[in-house]
Amino acid sequence: MDIMLPEGDPERTGEKVRVQDPGEHPSVTLFREYLRLKTVQPEPNYDVAVRFLERIAAELGLGCQKVEVFPGRVVTIMTWQGTDPQLRSILLNSHTDVVPVFEEHWTHNPFEAFKDSQGNIYARGAQDMKCVSIQYIEAIRRLKAEGKRFPRTVHMTFVPDEEVGGCKGMELFVKRPEFQALNVGFTLDEGLANPTDAFTVFYGEKCVWWIKVKCEGNPGHGSQFIENTAAEKLNRVITSLLQFRESEKQRLKCDEHLTLGDVTSINMTMLSGGVSFNVVPSELSAAFDIRIPPTVNLQAFEEQLTVWCRAAGEGVTYKFYQKYMDQTVTCTEESDPWWKAFSGACRDMHMTLKCEIFPAATDSRFIRAAGHPALGFSPMNHTPVLLHDHNEYLNEQVFLRGIEIYACLLTSLASVPPLPVEG
């Protein structure tokens, strides 16, 4: 249902304003409202998201704090105080930005949050990860309405710029005193959908390495057999890296116990150099996106890279554009109180969990590197993985079940008895 407000109306935001569809669950309506906010990279409208979140905090009677970690980059924190606020808190993190769209490939406007007859809600951010933000909020709304209180404080952080690497978002926030003051014990952040009945839980992430290999060689006329050209060297480098890529691909294919998170992936993503068809260039470069599992020895892997480059000839060097080195993983053993609380609640709900390493990079890496356990979990089973894809959608029933799941998880996590370190 759309109502166009007249020009000059104080409520007018320049966009259509929706009112509640009488048959729709209010949590779904709120989700769709959030999906319509254009927090899309590369120019996200963060102001509108912060105002939306402030409104919700006021509605729920939650403390709300804003931390500008970089000009124009605000982290919004909502806090539900526990009955024993000295205890370490539960942090529910989500990012507010979404990735760009190729609108011509979408069957519905990606910022309309169109719902079809089966209840599938189409929008950029439906899976990644505006669903999770609203599920956290709605779980807390429900628990509060039931009069629940828990010993541990629960914080929700809504951070900018995850989709562009988090360097003006979570990476800065974890270094701030306001983050220290949250006294984090355990964190939940984003995961991925799972098309089966199971839910995937990510207890660690692969390290991102972005390298550019530069090959220098002899220049000359394009009609000659010049010795030691940049192209011959680059060809050797590419062959070495892509052969390794193939062996890792086969290793993954041949072992059903392995997932993408367990093997090293390499992709050549950019090629550059050259000036003219008939000039043999003195320099050519190739860029590689490499993702390395936490079980791989990073020093040994870098040594292998240098061997490949040295073997390609003189004047072959590489430069890092991303070199993530922290390989911290979160404990998933029954002896761990946080895992016990998380997995125990899932067991009570008869959920099947699949524990994996996240194949890409999320803000969880900054939280783990800061010394706090974090699980990547988006409660979306029976759902194809559509993050960053065209026609990203989430079914409203799956979304609503996710709220129940978070309500149960929070009840368990925020009631974890004091740990030995908490006295």
Q: Is 336 annotated as a binding residue?
A: no
The residue count for binding ligand AME (CB under 6 A) is: 6
User: Closer CB to Zn ion, residue 105 or residue 319?
Assistant: 105
| Alpha-carbon gap, residue 134 to 131, rounded angstroms | 5
Instruction: Give the angle 364-27-147 at the CA atoms, nearest 5°.
Output: 85
Cβ neighbours around 17 below 10 Å, total: 15
356 is catalytic: no
146 is catalytic: no
| DSSP-assigned letter for residue 98 | B
Stretch that binds ligand AME, among 86-94, 259-267, 355-363, 408-416 (CB under 6 A): 355-363
Q: Is 123 in the site for Zn ion (CB under 5 A)?
A: no
Q: Which of 154, 128, 156, 160 is nearest to 49 (CA)?
A: 160
216 binds, among Zn ion, ligand AME, none (CB under 5 to 8 A by kind): none
Q: Which of 191, 200, 154, 186 is nearest to 336 (CA)?
A: 186
Q: Is 95 annotated as a binding residue?
A: yes
Q: Is 97 in the site for Zn ion (CB under 5 A)?
A: no
Stretch that binds Zn ion, among 69-77, 120-128, 193-201, 318-326 (CB under 5 A): 120-128
Q: Is 25 annotated as a binding residue?
A: no
Q: Is 386 in the site for Zn ion (CB under 5 A)?
A: no
| Alpha-carbon gap, residue 123 to 359, rounded angstroms | 23
Cβ neighbours around 371 below 10 Å, total: 9
User: Closer CB to Zn ion, residue 129 or residue 409?
Assistant: 129
Q: Which of 209, 254, 191, 226 is nearest to 383 (CA)?
A: 191
- Taking the complex as a whole, the smallest distance from the CB of residue 183 to ligand AME amounts, in Å, to 27
Site string for ligand AME, 268-307 (x = CB under 6 A): ----------------------------------------
| Alpha-carbon gap, residue 100 to 124, rounded angstroms | 8
| 114 burial level (CB within 10 Å; 0-12, 13-18, 19+) | middle
| Alpha-carbon gap, residue 198 to 383, rounded angstroms | 10
Site string for ligand AME, 142-181 (x = CB under 6 A): -----------------------x----------------
User: Closer CB to ligand AME, residue 53 or residue 192?
Assistant: 192
The torsion defined by the Cα of 377, 378, 384 and 387, in degrees rounded to 10, comes to: -100
Stretch that binds ligand AME, among 279-287, 339-347, 357-365, 393-401 (CB under 6 A): 357-365
| Alpha-carbon gap, residue 291 to 390, rounded angstroms | 24
From residue 233, how far is each of 239, 240, 261, 282, 303 by CA, in Å? 10, 11, 31, 11, 18
Sign (positive/negative) of CA torsion 217, 218, 224, 225? negative
Q: Which of 348, 350, 351, 99 is nearest to 201 (CA)?
A: 351
Q: Is 161 annotated as a binding residue?
A: no
- Taking the complex as a whole, the smallest distance from the CB of residue 290 to Zn ion amounts, in Å, to 19
Site string for ligand AME, 192-231 (x = CB under 6 A): ----------------x-----------------------
Site string for ligand AME, 301-340 (x = CB under 6 A): ---------------------x------------------
Q: Is 89 in the site for ligand AME (CB under 6 A)?
A: no
| Alpha-carbon gap, residue 155 to 242, rounded angstroms | 44
Q: Is 116 annotated as a binding residue?
A: no
Catalytic-role residue among 138, 161, 162, 262: 162
Binding site residue list:
95, 128, 163, 190, 388
Could you list the residues that contact ligand AME (CB under 6 A)? Answer: 165, 208, 322, 360-362
Residue numbers belonging to the annotated binding site for Zn(2+) = 95, 128, 163, 190, 388
Residues with a catalytic annotation lie at 97, 162
Binding site for Zn ion (CB under 5 A): 128-129, 190
